[in-house]
Amino acid sequence: MMRLIPDAEHDDLHLGDRPLIVCDVDEVVLEFVTPFEAFLTGEGYELRPTSFRLHGNVFNRTDGSETPGEAVSQMLEAFFESHDEWQTPVIEAADTLARLSEQADIVFLTAMPPRHRAVRRRLLSRHGFDYPMIATEAPKGPAVLALHGDRPQPVAFIDDIFVNLQSVRSHVPQSLLRAKRLSERLPHGRRRRVQRFSRKDLAHQRPTGLALGNGFEACVFEHPRGPGQQTDGLGMLGLFHRAGLEDAGAISLRMGDRGINQRVAQPLPAPSGLDEKAGDSPQARIGRIVAIEWARHGPRGVPARHMCAWSHLHPAYRDPVIERDQPRRQLRLCSLFQMLLLVIPAQFLPLLRRQPEIAAPAAVTSPLRPEKGFQQWPEIGGDGANIQVQAMQSPVDQVAFPRIIRHPEIDELTLAHVDCDAFYATVEKRDNPELADKPVIIGGGKRGVVSTCCYIARIHGVRSAMPMFKALDACPDAIVIKPDMEKYVRVGREVRQLMEELTPLVQPISIDEAFLDLAGTEKLHKDTAARTLARFAARVEAEIGISLSVGLSYCKFLAKVASDLDKPRGFSVIGKAEAIDFLKPRPVSLIWGVGKAFTETLARDGIRTIGQLQMMEQTALMRSYGVMGKRLYHLARGEDDRTVHANEGAKSVSAETTFNSDLSQAKDLVPVLRRLSEKVSARLKASNIAGQTVVLKLKTAEFKSRTRNFKLEDPTVLADRIFRTGLHLLERELGEDRFRLIGIGVSDLTDAARADPPDLVDPAAARRAVAESAIDKGDSSIMTSASKRERLLIPAGILIAGLLLAALVYAGLTEIGGKNSAALMADAFLHSRLWVTSCFDLDCAHVDGRTYVVFPPFPGVAALPLVTLGGATTFGFIPLAILCLFLSLLIWIRVFRQLGASNPAWFWLVLAAGFSSPLYFVTIRADGIWFFAQAIGFLMTSLALHEALAGRLLSAGMAIACAFLSRQMTIFYVPLLLILSMRTDTPLWTAMRDKVTRAVRLGLPVLAAIGIYMIYNQLRFGSVFESGYAFIDYPPGVLKQRLETHGLWSPSYVPFNLYHALVQGFHARFEGPGNMELVGMDRFGTAFLVASPWLAMLFFTPINRRTVYSGMLVAGLVTVMLFYHSNGYTQYNVQRYMLDWLPAALIMMAYAIQRQTSPLFPLAVLWGMGLNAVTIATMAMVR
């Protein structure tokens, strides 16, 4: 008869009076996931099974970004248009359907856009599936109901998507299937038999099953063995109404010898396709069905006893039973649920498999726990429909089976990792039984993130660290509870106490997990470590009321891996013999320390699985990945020699908060950071511990996390010290980004007795400690005044030093005063011309009867205010240079903080920079344009570095453009600025779009400055490439002698110039190589490297992109200085050229001082400052 199906396109449906099988297509008779993954790969995308939706799990392989849902839908459209080129049939599917078609009509009901029906029709026919097909995007329940109609014969529905089974259950519940031949697959061992029964009287059978809601439950009835008889393998899994639905229509499946759960289980396998070696096809597809058997009436009087699907809520759940012998075959009970779903493919339920031999790589068993398969793998094929968990909630009863765990090495293994299951959520459910069968999320408000969630919520796709609004979208019925850390800590300590009763070797990893080494405890507990741990898990659940998972192995790495295999209530074993084979198919991300970024690095190198690492030599790995390569080599082979240390407790103490609205300004973030620092400090003091590494955590508005850390010289418990270090780290991140979360914490924990020793270098430290002690006692006034004093101390000191320097200058320490060509340039600009009437400096060019200052124009622009007020002969250049010095040092205070230099480290860095010879020399010689341009260029370069570290690339580009228009060599700083603006922990060649955007924003002002300079040259000298140095009238003799006699690049000059740069403290008169006369103490201060410990500090500089490029820049500029700029006369001119590379050297020193804790650093600075003071005082007395 012809039937019409609503909301669908279909072939002519001429159905007879035979039973009807309604069968899905994708992953039932045709492969879908594997070919779709191949299709995505060809398009430059990849499928990551991280939740229960197809949308949201497709990512761009190039930049790792999530593909929008609309784009995924378009790719599905393209796939279905060409799926006849991709999809292949499931093994045995055609033969099975041909066999079934002898006793029943068959109709395909596929969830796909009807417009693609013709393409799929051709594909099915080509593979021998010549059965009518219905294509619909609507729920399948109405379609099955229309097919059923008033048929006298039953209708059986086969599908791999749970939401489709639910839809059919709500419309035609009698169409769901039950399976036979289950009894021999049920666990052996101790059993609780409810009643004996006969084969003809199903009412006396012992049922177990899972609740399906709305009055329905699925039950399995096991037939007993008669005396001396083997089981006949009969059983039923069916849908029955608890109120006693008698005429449900019993439809059952008879499975072949290679039925469900036939192949050996390997937990967490790579989601590959077929096991060709075993000749097996993916689990639970239609190729396993031998026949469908029909009955007019179902069993009567079904008892209401059943096991809830959520066994972690079941009060009668039995403890693990540890056995050493090799048993007969058994079934993990979760496959009962798998039989109900019937056709969920193996690659999406890798945990739901039978283990015929417990000598498998990880000997684990589990109770009836369907959510385990869904929590890891997405539901593909339902176009993102979430699993409807509410259909599986019902009261529980007292039916339970033991778990039998066997492994050939189980008696020898003693190292375990114990991890509480969904700890926060489990504690809340324990304290509120009404939450037992409800999805629970632990987290903050709508703008917060999920701290953790129960396993019911995880079935919906909720996961830790997910934004709360996404979690509530995925699971709108979830109950959100704010974390109660005090309660969780208390419960965690109770679990820890029970652990310490097992062994003294307990190494806590966090509040809810720890490593245990039970070696040598067999006599104490009179049993093996495995049995002791099994009893321990039962005791924790009985006494504390929470469940946990145990991983047992021979090393810490694999024990941690094992504990994650079988959650919740898991007990997993990984032995040494199978470790390499177990690890081989696993992804490299399974290895500790291999995060997302490093995983992508390895993937670019063609390494995706641990098996690929196992094939590589240690030397090759270390050559590519350094010390991490050695770690990869050993862990990939299951080699981990770390031992359990009882004194290694919690690794960090932290506090964080999520804002109600995104923040970006320091004035908003700093008060929050201070409050969090005080909270961390209070916890440290309460626990009598201290931390040495301060960790700052930020999360941007785009949910990208940033973690920055800095190691202090000594451990601390002081909130002020934690806050100040965190503030330095925060200032480096401030820029254009907006933040939704901020956190501060400390790691490298130690005893509080070692914290905050007296600081001889930083006298204010003691005052801050006293102030904080007063804060702890409730007196905040001392703290406020101490903080204000310190904030004013450094700028005031620098200003006073600058005024003293000005007084010395005006006392007569300079030979030239009031004559600066920059003033002449400014005066020319005021009169709308580029030439000057006269020139005070050496670098003046004479072209066509006019005199030009060859310097770039910015020094003249900077002098405009002075010239406007005082005329071209103003005496204000030295005060202006002092102002530039003062501003530069203030900027460098912030730069050092951005680079993570701690207090007092940055204090000494500023002193070393401010009182070293080059800045002194340039400042007191600022009446000459050479030196004034250096002062202006140094200020602009410092400002550019500050802006780049803050991420403000446009303003950094404008500053370096001004520096270039003062000192041309600062153009070399552009790549360094770009690198400084990037994170050092990300690969250089990733996220290229962002890097190109940064480069454009930085480069545009610089290109504009280059254009201005070229136009400036064209207007003056008639060529954009002529800067005027060819027209300078140098004094005869010196430069000519150098060029003609020794050559411009003569190595004869290098030793002298190098000596002059390093040891300058004397005045040298130079008349060529080999003719140098020392005539007395240098009038203008000691050398840069004598006044500061730069050279020694370079040996402590960590190697990263920033310091490497800084070093390259320093080396390049020093080379130019040594070979070219030392062009005669007294060699003290080389001092001003040091300012060209001083900013890059300061960057390196700020990194170096993070590792250098020697008191020699401040002593060297004091030595240099003293030497400068002695030099200036001596010259003052000489005059």
CATH of residue 743's domain is 3.30.1490.100
CATH assignment at residue 470: 3.30.70.270
Distance separating alpha carbons of residues 1011 and 1032, to the nearest angstrom: 23
Spell out a b/e string for 576-606, using b for 16 or more CB atoms within 10 Å of the CB, else e.
Answer: eebbbebbbbbebebbeebeeebbbbbeeee
Which residues are CB-neighbours of 656 under 8 A, at least 6 positions away? 676, 697, 741, 742, 743, 744, 745
Distance separating alpha carbons of residues 1098 and 1115, to the nearest angstrom: 12
Structure confidence by residue, pLDDT tens digits, 949-966: 877 888 999 999 999 998
Which residue from 373, 411, 406 is spatially nearest to 565, judged by alpha carbons? 373
The 10 Å Cβ neighbour count of residue 230 is 8
Distance separating alpha carbons of residues 21 and 177, to the nearest angstrom: 11
Structure tokens at 81: 């248009």
Q: Which residue range is the domain that position 487 belongs to? A: 407-583
Structure confidence by residue, pLDDT tens digits, 592-614: 878 777 888 898 888 989 999 99
Mean pLDDT of 248-263: 32
One domain for residues 135 and 215: no
pLDDT at 696: 92
- Asked if omega into 504 is within 30° of 0 (cis), the reply is no
Distance separating alpha carbons of residues 594 and 604, to the nearest angstrom: 14
> Exposed, middle or buried: residue 188 (CB in 10 Å: 0-12, 13-18, 19+)?
middle
One domain for residues 1143 and 1112: yes
Angle at alpha carbon of residue 1118, lines to 1113 and 1119, rounded to 5°: 100
Is 321 within the bounds of a domain?
yes
Mean pLDDT of 1020-1043: 68
Strands 415-420 and 403-406: unpaired
One domain for residues 70 and 181: no
Mean pLDDT of 244-261: 32
One domain for residues 680 and 611: no
Q: Considering 27, 31, 37, 513, which one is annotated as catalytic?
A: 513
One domain for residues 612 and 666: no
Spell out a b/e string for 672-705, using b for 16 or more CB atoms within 10 Å of the CB, else e.
Answer: bbbebbbbbbebbbeeebbbbbbbbbbbbeeeee
One domain for residues 478 and 606: no
Structure confidence by residue, pLDDT tens digits, 551-605: 999 999 999 999 988 888 888 899 998 899 899 888 998 998 787 778 888 988 8
Bridge partners for 751 per DSSP:
689
Distance separating alpha carbons of residues 432 and 429, to the nearest angstrom: 5
Is 772 within the bounds of a domain?
no
Among the listed ranges 53-62, 310-319, 520-529, 757-766, which one has the minimum average pLDDT value?
Answer: 310-319
Mean pLDDT of 687-705: 84
pLDDT at 227: 37
Q: Are 324 and 410 in contact (CB under 8 A)?
A: yes
Spatial strand order in the sheet of 216-222: 206-213, 216-222, 235-241
Query: Where does the pLDDT of residue 83 fall: very low under 50, low under 70, confident under 90, or very high at 90 and above?
Result: low
Q: Are 162 and 142 in contact (CB under 8 A)?
A: no
DSSP track, 97-116? HHHHTTTSEEEEEEES-GGG
Bridge partners for 1077 per DSSP:
1069
CATH assignment at residue 617: 1.10.150.20
One domain for residues 549 and 597: no
> Mean pLDDT score of the chain, rounded to an integer?
67
Distance separating alpha carbons of residues 363 and 374, to the nearest angstrom: 21
One domain for residues 847 and 874: yes
User: Over 50: is that where the pLDDT of 195 sits?
Assistant: no
Which residue from 343, 388, 320 is spatially nearest to 528, judged by alpha carbons? 320
DSSP 8-state class, residue 969: G
Domain finish residue from 136, 171, 206: 171
User: Over 60: is that where the pLDDT of 497 sits?
Assistant: yes
Mean pLDDT of 980-1006: 72
Structure confidence by residue, pLDDT tens digits, 927-943: 778 778 888 888 999 99
Distance separating alpha carbons of residues 896 and 901, to the nearest angstrom: 5
Question: Which is higher by pLDDT, 753 or 846?
Answer: 846
Which residue from 406, 401, 404, 443 is spatially nearest to 425, judged by alpha carbons? 443
Listed in sequence order, the DSSP H helices in 637-763 are 666-687, 719-733
Is 647 within the bounds of a domain?
no
Q: Is 27 a catalytic residue?
A: no
pLDDT at 163: 73
One domain for residues 476 and 375: no
- Containing 918, the helix (H) or strand (E) segment is helix 917-924
Distance separating alpha carbons of residues 730 and 725, to the nearest angstrom: 9
Q: Long-range contacts for 499-503 (Cβ within 8 Å, ≥24 apart)?
A: 499/418, 499/536, 502/532, 502/533, 502/536
Query: Where does the pLDDT of residue 1042 fall: very low under 50, low under 70, confident under 90, or very high at 90 and above?
Result: low
Distance separating alpha carbons of residues 746 and 725, to the nearest angstrom: 11
Distance separating alpha carbons of residues 303 and 903, to the nearest angstrom: 74
Q: Are 21 and 106 in contact (CB under 8 A)?
A: yes
Is 156 within the bounds of a domain?
yes
Angle at alpha carbon of residue 344, lines to 560 and 108, rounded to 5°: 165
Query: Where does the pLDDT of residue 741 fall: very low under 50, low under 70, confident under 90, or very high at 90 and above?
Result: confident
Count: domains in the chain: 6
Is 779 within the bounds of a domain?
no
Structure tokens at 193: 């038999």
Question: Which is higher by pLDDT, 803 or 44?
Answer: 44
Highest mean pLDDT among 676-690, 718-732, 839-853, 858-872: 718-732
One domain for residues 276 and 417: no
One domain for residues 1118 and 982: yes
What are the angstrom distances between the C-alpha of 744 and each of 41, 555, 625, 680, 686? Answer: 40, 32, 30, 8, 17
Question: Which is higher by pLDDT, 952 or 86?
Answer: 952
Q: Are 691 and 768 in contact (CB under 8 A)?
A: no
Question: Which is higher by pLDDT, 71 or 807?
Answer: 71
Q: Are 1082 and 1065 in contact (CB under 8 A)?
A: yes
Mean pLDDT of 505-521: 89
pLDDT at 560: 93
With pLDDT > 90 as the criterion, what percentage of the chain qualifies?
A: 9
What are the angstrom distances between the C-alpha of 352 and each of 51, 368, 984, 1146? Answer: 17, 10, 43, 60
DSSP track, 725-753? HHHHHHHHH-SS--EEEEEEEEEEEEEGG
Listed in sequence order, the DSSP H helices in 564-637 are 579-583, 596-604, 610-614, 618-625, 627-636
Is 784 within the bounds of a domain?
no
pLDDT at 851: 85
CATH assignment at residue 61: 3.40.50
With pLDDT > 70 as the criterion, what percentage of the chain qualifies?
A: 58
One domain for residues 280 and 229: yes
Number of residues assigned to the chain: 1183
Which residue from 478, 453, 456 is spatially nearest to 464, judged by alpha carbons? 453
Mean pLDDT of 530-548: 90
How far, rounded to the nearest angstrom, does the alpha carbon of residue 814 sit from its chain's CA centroid? 58
Terminal-to-terminal C-alpha distance of the chain: 121
- Number of helices (H), then strands (E), belonging to the chain: the values are 41, 31
Structure confidence by residue, pLDDT tens digits, 204-225: 333 333 232 333 333 333 333 3
Distance separating alpha carbons of residues 107 and 1171, to the nearest angstrom: 97
Is 968 within the bounds of a domain?
yes
Structure confidence by residue, pLDDT tens digits, 89-112: 877 778 778 877 888 888 999 887
Domain finish residue from 556, 583, 610: 583
DSSP track, 92-158? THHHHHHHHTTTSEEEEEEES-GGGHHHHHHHHHHTT--S-EEEESS-HHHHHHHHHTT-SS-EEEE
Q: Are 1123 and 1054 in contact (CB under 8 A)?
A: yes
Is 802 within the bounds of a domain?
no
Query: Where does the pLDDT of residue 901 fall: very low under 50, low under 70, confident under 90, or very high at 90 and above?
Result: low
Domain finish residue from 757, 792, 824: 757
